[in-house]
Structure 1
Amino acid sequence: MCSLVQKYNIPGPRYTSYPTVPYWNMETFSGRKWKSTVQQSFNEGNASEGISLYIHLPFCESMCTFCGCHKRITKRHDVESPYITSVLKEWRLYCDLFETRPRIKELHLGGGTPTFFSPDNLKRLINGIFRNADHADNYEFSFEGHPNNTSREHLQTLYDVGFRRVSFGVQDYNEFVQRAIHRVQPFEKVKEVTDWAREIGYTSIGHDIIFGLPFQKMEHVEQTILKTKDLMPDRLAFYSYAHVPWLKGNGQRGYKDTDLPTGEEKRAQYEKGKRLLAEVGYHEIGMDHFSLSGDTLYKSMQSGALHRNFMGYTASKTQLMIGLGASSISDSWYSFAQNVKSIEEYQHLVENDIIPIYRGHILTSEDQVVRKHILNLMCHFESSWAGQDMYFDKLNEVKDRLREMETDGLVVVSENHIDVTEKGRPFIRNICMAFDVLLHRNKPETQLFSMTV
């Protein structure tokens, strides 16, 4: 495994979209085209499956250096109400595009720190969204909670407006590692909020754990997994720290590359953690995710409904996903669009009745087929091009790129099908890169992505 880690540990996308953001074509994109694809997708999917909403709440009281999200560090809570006003105005601008009331199937609050906002303001946000929308059948609402500032009132208030899933960022329980990433939170605090969520009635509680953090050793990962077993969250994100110090504002320049575990050490941390999780009943879901058999994520994998988008893995697919808030990314299935990142610019545009996007991409027919293959690989570890609708011109080049991976035992490729082996699952990002025709057509001259291992 070590030699494979050395061979395949290269910069690569995490494929929450295809094409990935650096390869979006702005020359063919426009706000008019974006609105048109939103309307098309809404008309095709709203009645049958509903739509998804992602709401970006960007404020945090302190900087966590492992985080690559767009955020604003502040202790001023007077920013909450004006920001919610802007988000609700943006939502109305989208609703004006629709001929019927939207039915919301998925709603996720991300950040930043959603629980930076007071319970009353979060309730105002959700109630404001549903003044112009209805609940779809079997809807699922979720939010990300910081264990240090998620109160029982937060959990109860969001439960009362329909939330049944919450994920808590744990990262690592070792205090030295926590101090390095500026995220100090004791196990007792995580246990408290997890217990509160269960008592209130949340049906899916998740924890996020990271391996490969600065100064993190194997014993730290083991300790974190063993403590996690004491709480048994319904699902886990157990993923690799993304070291991207060239991005502005993430604080990762505060430690050196030599402070990080090597690629081999990171892979060993992951394999050990995976074994420990399997011993107590967690199932591996796609890439870097695990769940118990009773969770909707596992059930969706079993039924073939597992999906991946800008929110990560989801238990079902909606054709239209609208991102609200500064820096949010939306997906109409036919195109992508991202909002401006500056909070002030975002609020200014919305106040002037302008949907606040600043870049996007209209998917070509080739993009749409490649996207399906990458989704299949990410969600099901297989794909097929037996049907004409899954064929694309560069397929022979993809097969050429897969040959060495097949020799290394990572994949099995037949005339019309690819299967990822158990040995190949840790390298799923590399396997997807073989299909990424835009990446190979325009190889970056500078590093854009985190390392794949």
Structure 2
Amino acid sequence: MKNSLIQKYNVPGPRYTSYPTVPYWDETDFSDEIWAETLKKSFVESNSSEGISLYIHLPFCESLCTFCGCNKRITKNHGVENPYIEGVLKEWALYCKILGEKPTIKEIHLGGGTPTFFSTKNLEDLINGIFVHAKKAKDHEFSFEGHPNNTSHEHLQKLYDLGFRRVSFGVQDYSEKVQKAIHRLQPFHNVAKVTFWAREIGYTSIGHDIIFGLPFQEIEDIIDTIEKTKSLQPDRLAFYSYAHVPWIKGNGQRGFNDEDIPKDDKKRMLYETGKKLLFENGYHEIGMDHFALKTDSLHEAFQNGALHRNFMGYSSSKTQLMIGLGVSSISDNWYSFAQNVKNLEDYYQILEWNKLPVFRGHLLTDEDLIIRKHILNLMCQFETSWENKESYFIEIPDVLLQLQEMENDGLLIIKDNSITVTEKGKPYVRNICMAFDLRLKRKAPETALFSMTI
């Protein structure tokens, strides 16, 4: 039965860091004026009560990892750092001018690229520059992504001194053969060193990112990676599927042949093996492809129904307004989305014109907001309900009809006004969300847009 379920449900599908997903944004009603208007509306509603979030994209890497689907610029020239920091701070000043008063920042996340490509001095200038125009929430949560090969003790100490308490390290897999295939040679010693440093300095949440389904990856590799992970006891883990999307990222993801990538039942067995070992070592499943120890804030948020998901991934707290700074970053004010230009030179040029570097966006409809809430519920709590009229939409009967086969397969339980994902159905939560995705159903993609769900 397990094999047939994988064959049946392993189809291309979104990861649902947003709804509507980016390929289904309707740009016809979007404008810079609408973005500014909805931004101010959301800011007024949320700033005093919960604060806002900042995602800052730092795109530079010294070498190309061939598994990576992020927007990045490969260079060993560290002279690019200062102009980029200046650009991000100028963009932030433009946002603060629109907001009209000092925002309270609840969350900051530094992503990339490689945030630790930047010197500690430039990272300090970035964060201090942000707070020229803002203040910190008392219960702020600042996090960053660290590359184990170039994250120094100085990086960890400086960011800790600036208020950061969470760090995630990209591990992927410890097999040398796999590491060579994805161009990410990274010995266990480097991961252990930065993990111990972070713990000694006082970071309260240390995360490791592990990927299953990488080229040449075998069951033995997953077992070895999880065993090594166990010895370091990170507080949380992202254990997610490799998204092979070379049609989007071009040659960057073609450092190996398609036949070298585990598929279907073999790929799922990699996940099931890793998941079982994580359970045996005290980790609990949190949302989709995430695991945490009971002592981590992500586990507490899941237990309390406070888990949130946005373009930064899972978060233990919710903010209605998230502003993305830097090239390719996406912002979300709940009522609309906006994405920055992806090309670095275009980003600088638009900032020279004293304009926000936004090149596309989407104004959410009333229907979008309802569907978005259901998908968030499923992704964060594995259940959703339409008991109140604000959560009901007229296509609910059609959605339930589509979900009937999944219920027959034991993946979920349908009640009068709700559905609950079963333990068996958790690996298929993306498929379940797709039944609610009205935009996807109304216009099926004619070309490859998404990675496989399994």
- Identify the TM-score tier after normalising by the shorter chain: over 0.9
Say whether the 8 Å CA contact 1:215–1:261 is kept in structure 2.
Answer: yes
Residue 107 of structure 1 aligns to which amino acid in structure 2? I
1:61-100 correspondence to structure 2 within 5 Å: 61-100=62-101
Whole-angstrom distance in 1 between the partners of 2:170 and 2:251: 17
The verdict on how the C-alpha distance between 1:250 and 1:39 changes in structure 2, with shifts beyond 3 A counting, is farther
Q: Indicate the residue corresponding to 1:374 in structure 2.
A: 375
CA–CA distance in 1 between the matches of 2:325 and 2:60?
A: 14
| Equivalent-residue separation in structure 1 for 2:21 and 2:238 (angstroms) | 21
* Range moving further from structure 2, 91-100 or 362-371: 91-100
Residue by residue over 1:29-57, the C-alpha shift from the partner in whole angstroms, topping out at 9 and shown as x without a partner, is: 11110111110000000000000000000
- 8 Å Cα contact 1:70-1:111 kept in structure 2: yes
Indicate the residue corresponding to 1:349 in structure 2: 350
Q: CA deviation at 1:393?
A: 2.0
Contact residue 106 and residue 139 of structure 2 kept, 8 A? yes
* 5+ residue gaps, structure 1: none
Determine the structure 1 residue equivalent to 2:225.
224
How far apart in 2 are the matches of 1:359 and 1:290? 34
Corresponding letter in the other structure for 1:168: F
Q: CA deviation at 1:100?
A: 2.0
Structure 2 equivalent of residue 7 of structure 1: 8
- 1:313 equivalent in structure 2: 314
**Alpha-carbon deviation of 1:254?**
2.5
Q: Shift of residue 161 of structure 1? A: 0.5
Distance 1:250 1:274 in 2: 31
Counterpart contact for 2:117–2:150, Cα < 8 Å: yes
SS in 2 for 1:251: helix
Contact 1:293 1:299 in 2 (8 A): yes
TM-score by length of 2: 0.99
Q: Deviations over 1:196-250 (max 9, x none)?
A: 1011111100000000000100100110000000000000000000000112345
- Contact (CA 8 Å) 1:68, 1:250: kept in 2 or not? no
Partner of 2:410: 409
Amino acid corresponding to residue 235 of structure 1 in structure 2: R
Provide the C-alpha distance between the structure 1 equivalents of 2:28 and 2:263, rounded to a whole number of angstroms: 40
Question: Percent identity at matched positions?
Answer: 68
Distance 1:282 1:215 in 2: 26
Q: Match of 1:52?
A: 53
Which segment is superposed worse, 115-124 or 344-353? Answer: 344-353
- Is the contact made by 2:182 and 2:255 (CA closer than 8 Å) also made in structure 1? no
Aligned to 1:34: 35
In the alignment, which residue of structure 2 is the partner of 1:444?
445
Distance 2:398 2:337 in 1: 26
Give unpaired runs (5+ residues) of structure 2: none
For 1:250 and 1:414, locate their aligned partners in 2 and report how far apart those are by CA, in whole Å: 47
Instruction: Output the CA distance in 2 between the equivalents of 1:323 and 1:240.
Output: 25
SS state at 2:452 partner: coil
Q: Which residue identity does 2:431 align to in structure 1?
A: N
Counterpart contact for 2:60–2:74, Cα < 8 Å = yes
Corresponding pairs, count: 453
For 1:387, the equivalent position in structure 2 comes to: 388
State the match for 1:302 in structure 2: 303
Runs of 4+ in 1 over 3 A off after TM superposition: none
CA contact (8 A) 1:89 1:351 kept: no
CA deviations over 1:244-266 (Å, ceiling 9, x no partner): 01123452222222101121111
Whether the 8 Å CA contact 1:16–1:309 is kept in 2: the answer is: yes
- Quick one: distance in 2 between partners of 1:331 and 1:37? 10
Distance in 1, Cα, partners of 2:179 & 2:211 = 11
What residue identity is the alignment partner of 2:130? Answer: I
Question: Deviation of residue 137 (structure 1)?
Answer: 2.4
